[in-house]
Amino acid sequence: MLLPVNLSAQTAGQDVHNAGTDTKDAAKDTGHAVKKTTKKTATKTKEGTTVAADKTKETSVKAYDRSKEGVQKVVDPNAETKSKVTDRSRETKMTAKDKSKQTTQKIEDAPK
């Protein structure tokens, strides 16, 4: 059974229109993929920067505490023990606060 040629063929104008629509749809899909990837990368970079800043702060505080302990040994040998307890307490609070901030940041950055 043969179909007449004019029933199954499209006009050149229809072919051009369909090709244009296909190109437009492909461009939209590509744009959405780029947007999603860029957003994901930015979020991960932000998290990495936050963690690095917290680690730097933690290291700086520990170095300061060590210097302070060295000076206290010379001035008042009993002050060192009290200072260590205070410093550890402060470091624990600081770490808990940093972890809380990171968790909040992850929740805010989660895709909606």
Contact present, 30 and 81 (Cβ < 8 Å): no
pLDDT value, residue 49: 79
**What's the structural domain count of the chain?**
1
Half-sphere exposure of 39 (CA within 13 A, CB side): 11
The boundaries of the domain holding residue 102 are 73-112
Q: Residue 23 has what pLDDT?
A: 84
In a domain, 19, yes or no: no
pLDDT at 32: 78
The per-residue pLDDT for 77 is 66
The structure's pTM equals 0.34
Instruction: Answer yes or no: is 79 within a domain.
Output: yes
In a domain, 85, yes or no: yes
In a domain, 90, yes or no: yes
53 lies in a domain? Answer: no
Low-confidence ranges of the chain (pLDDT < 70): 1-10, 70, 72-75, 77, 80, 112
Percent helix / strand / coil, the chain, rounded to 5: 90, 0, 10
Residue type, position 106, single letter:
K
